[in-house]
Amino acid sequence: MKETKRQSSCIPLFSLLIAVLSICFPPFFGINSAYAQEDTLALIWSPPELDSTVSYYKIYLSVDTSDYDSIGTSPDTTFSFMGSAGHTYRVKVSAVNSFEIEGALSEPSPDTTLSGVDEAQDEKIPKAFSLGQNFPNPFNSTTAISYQLSAISGQQSADGGRRTAVTLNIYNSLGEKVRDIIDEEKGPGYYMALWNGRDNWGREVCSGIYFYRLEVMGNRFKVTRTKRMIFLK
């Protein structure tokens, strides 16, 4: 009996050691894409293979080939920030586990130069509503959805601007809503939203075809745009 106990106790101890080593040393990974629009840069990366051991990610930024500085954290595999026109940005990320042990830095994102903020103000106001195709598509982690709002028939706001009620939702192939992305009032301009392939309860959706629908409600009008995308695990 004693010998049997001694053998069985070695198995969970060995398994525990393997688990701890896998947590402490998450594998290398890279940033899939850097999506720039106007003065905003959105980053999307795939998690390490052992993503269940990741608590959050740390973001490091290099501007115009400067040294990398930590600029924030992200609970998932996306991050976006506003920059300045004419500057080139490069980003690396690292995974941090539940023991606050930080893994190696990822490969850098592609060099991305923002160029939209110096345009004339009139050129920055869209002349019509538009919903862009998500990028990347198909996707297996996170995708970016761009859209633009014109100034037509918006509701007058307290600061004298024009605000429009905007909703952006994700639906499955059966027409069932799986995720609310945006439900708020916005002024005219160019925008970008991210979807991480999860529903309103935080569960990852199944692979397949999904639809995203932008709905804009003004004083006397309602405009809806819908496009298709593909999620692959």
State pLDDT tens for residues 35-45: 676 667 877 77
pLDDT band at residue 19 under the 50/70/90 scheme? very low
pLDDT band at residue 107 under the 50/70/90 scheme? confident
The answer to whether 52 and 63 are in contact (CB under 8 A) is no
| Residue 3: φ, ψ to 5° | -65, -40
Q: Which residue in the block uniquely carries the two structure tokens 């959805």? A: 145
Confidence (pLDDT) at 8: 45
| Residue 36: φ, ψ to 5° | -105, 140
Confidence (pLDDT) at 160: 46
Confidence (pLDDT) at 161: 52
Q: Global pTM?
A: 0.55
First to last CA, the chain: 47
- Computed over every residue of the chain, the mean pLDDT equals 76
Q: By mean pLDDT, which of 53-57, 173-177, 224-228 is the weakest?
A: 53-57
* In the predicted structure, residue 176 carries a pLDDT above the cut 80: yes
Average pLDDT over residues 67-76: 86
Structural domains present in the chain: 31-113 (2.60.40.10), 121-231 (2.60.40.4070)
* In the predicted structure, residue 184 carries a pLDDT above the cut 80: yes
Confidence (pLDDT) at 80: 78
Q: Classify 4 as helix, strand or coil.
A: helix
Q: Which among 146, 148, 140, 139 has a CA at the least distance from the CA of 193?
A: 146
* In the predicted structure, residue 116 carries a pLDDT above the cut 70: no
